[in-house]
Structure 1
């Protein structure tokens, strides 16, 4: 009997403990759900943040159309008084220049008057004015610097008192489904607040450094340059673009993420311009065929298609290398590498891990400055031989004669094999090979005659390769093409 009571007691305790744990989990889930739920109202947040959001007005002198002389009215006619713009006293002609105005939004990021907006809001403006919240003073703004690549501009206004301002948050911790608040000046109607959620992250539209937060919060023309806030009142994005067939919001708004914007703003504030790291390579994404051709076990990294004079060349990076790691960060694709390099400091020595000849190598590269490289672009060159045409894998190939060079607009020192025609049902055509392309390397070895191409493809087949990597130039731009050797 005693043993039975003991067992019953243990069961009761176990049941009670289980019930307690279940209750605790339910309460925890309820608390978590409440924390993630929609707020009862955005009013307190909007009231606190709105004073730091500004309207931006720009004025630009633009050329007018040449037009026929304006109609004349009889001197002293009442028409001259009623319609002075149409019937001037001397008739005259339409002015050749006129002033155009534009409206946008922005936000103050410091008490001493630094203002962030979009570059396209103030681009080309002769005058920029900032209107403070709800009838505040209209202040003349000085342009500190712009960055067209991220569409960010930094302005400065002077006021007789400290200005209300907002701070940046960490956009990397923002999650799809989080509530956000957009404040700005849509369609020139004055200050307005709209709420929504984050629909997606890490969106790319057109730019090299794109890292957009997509939101369904209403964003319209005039919202450009305004802030996107999280529920802690931190700026996690700068409202920049919408996708819409009508020109109005349909729930596809895009805000440049704060982790991109803060780096740009810091550089504009310090230097008046951006200073991005530059590796000095042309790259392309790795696909399954390319990975197989170079011997990678998976699709990853960024394939180097060309190495002009610059930091990478000095460090020993070669065309055909696959960059797997940059400065301690794994490289998933070209977009990730470009952003990592751009965010790195000019002059920084970084370690770059490349895949080459079936193994990895670590190289040390001292980064240059991208802006300097863009001002002084380096055009690579490669050079000449002669031999009979050949048809290889659906491509008719020819050596570079003077006549072929003239037709393809190639310099005398360029080497390679020209593609005359490509069979439209061939793998080469499917992979993008076209008439006029120039094959310069196969398997990272130079080719100067059609027979070199034929021999290289045969050697790859004999070695058991499923595909082969060709370096191809089109209009001076190199890229790798992986041709399948398996029918």
Structure 2
């Protein structure tokens, strides 16, 4: 990890610690709360904090010991192992523009394009095993575990250590890089102690919180603090971070942030620090975001977010005054490309003030609420147009497919996909069109999967793309496409021009037919 600047945002992970993992010794002998935790696990009930005077009266507790004892059996340490390659030899480091730069670039020395095998000298690479550390927590008696995506990213092996000292291998169920959340699964013959998500929106600035995890590889550790701020955004579209002064360090990533009821209201993710250590500014992704992502990852292995299909900007006071709006709230539509919003009649210049029955505060609020809405179902949207409210019904598409990052697996029934030119294609039905966020009247073939070694992948095609033309003629069925391909071959052509639409935007691609 590079030396942090005076104001540096770091993930609170152990990925930068290339040290061997040593399980904490203090946990081996006695496990406080183990009996009550096992009883809760056997009853398939989440662990919960006991009632206390502090909780009832919302004052500073005399001790957090009861809370720690109750929820700690559901908190885990995560060790990942990965293979990294390093060159066996190193060459001279030359600045770009030096007199010998052209010569050394030709031979692929460091700082320039590498030679065969990845070594700057064109020689062999040495493979080394690297360990990294993080935290997580169990959310079901069957062994479902939540952590940060960056904790397990690139891991070949994942091992989970429980508070009792028991270790189990884990596999990845699903991950989401946009919220930095991953879901793991371990197999256990006995039900596991687990905790449940709380309502992060109920947390108030000043409320007590408890962070548990594995900071700096030291093993199980607890720290306390308060909610310092809410609704923080760092860099992502779906950010909703709780800021806390509870100590969070590298290795705490993926660990839970508890309220005083023993409910998880955040997943510890990042810190703001000039030196890489905690200075009391930590960030936990809010549970109301995380719980929805976990549900989708558990069910589908990927996220399925709603997609409206508009470009938006904030409503400033000047804009509100010019449009005759009472308040500078909502999201102003700047562009409506082909997609769900266009199909519903939304126009550039509209101000979205209500979505699915709830007031829209600003563009960030709208993005999060659209993402949480069900794909392929109609929602009520209110826009201000010419000083009057206009009610629209928008059937949302799926954002991952609109961006070309989803798996392309459709829930709707369709004809069996056929492999053509390195792609699995199926006719576009109105139901699939709704999931993709394109017009229900569109005809074509939807790409359901792409051979990663084929020509279609080389030319950028991805699941969710729709082929509407081939050989400059419309295609509505697999037979149409096969006929166009045959015509191209019979004419002696080596490729065929197809029109591909992604999120409604067209582009031409030449695909080989030989």
TM-score w.r.t. the length of structure 1 is 0.64
- Equivalent in 148, 153, 174 of residue 118 of structure 1: 148
Which residue pairs with 2:158 in the alignment? 128
Mapping of 1:83-98 within 5 angstroms?
95-98=125-128
Instruction: Give the equivalent residue in structure 2 for 1:187.
Output: 216
Q: Deviations over 1:249-277 (max 9, x none)?
A: 11101111111111111111111111111
5 Å matches for 1:60-459?
Answer: 60-67=82-89, 95-136=125-166, 138-375=167-404
Q: Secondary structure at the match of 1:146?
A: strand
1:59 to 66, 76, 81: 81
* Runs of at least 5 residues in structure 1 that lack an aligned partner in the other structure: 1-30, 70-92, 379-475, 477-487
Structure with bigger RCO (C-alpha 8 Å, 6+ apart): 2
Q: Which residue of the partner structure matches residue 21 of structure 1?
A: none
Which residue of structure 2 aligns with residue 451 of structure 1?
none
Q: Which has the higher helix share?
A: 1
* Partner SS for 2:381: strand
In 2, the alpha carbon distance for the partners of 1:313 and 1:177 equals 44
SS in structure 1 at match of 2:403: helix
CA distance in 1, matches of 2:217, 2:135: 9
**Equivalent of 1:43, from 40, 45, 65?**
65
Structure whose CA Rg is larger: 1
SS of 1:167 mapped into structure 2: coil
Instruction: Measure the CA separation in 2 of the matches of 1:376 and 1:35.
Output: 48
Question: Judging changes above 3 Å, is the alpha-carbon distance between structure 1 residues 254 and 285 closer, same or farther for their aligned structure 2 residues?
Answer: same
Which deviates more from structure 2 when the two are superposed, residues 222-231 or residues 159-168?
Answer: 159-168
Q: Which residue of 1 aligns with 2:485?
A: none
Does the 8 A contact of 2:54 with 2:60 survive in 1? no
Structure 1's 68 and 342: CA in aligned 2 closer, same or farther, altered over 3 A? closer
How far the C-alpha of 1:291 sits from its partner, in A, is 2.1
Residues 68, 94 of structure 1: 8 Å contact kept: no
Question: In structure 2, what is the Cα distance between the partners aligned to 1:55 and 1:175?
Answer: 29
With normalisation by structure 2, the TM-score equals 0.61
Distance 1:62 1:295 in 2: 60
Measure how far apart 1:68 and its partner are: 5.5
Alpha-carbon distance, 1:33 to partner:
10
Distance 1:102 1:359, change over 3 A: same
Query: 2:402 & 2:178 partners in 1: Cα distance?
Result: 15
Contact kept, 8 Å, 1:241 with 1:255, in 2: the verdict is: yes
CA displacement at 1:168 relative to structure 2: 1.1
**Residue segments in structure 2 that go unaligned for 5+ positions in a row:** 1-52, 92-122, 407-435, 437-504, 506-514
Shift of the 327–98 alpha-carbon distance from structure 1 to 2, 3 Å rule, reads same
CA displacement at 1:32 relative to structure 2: 9.2
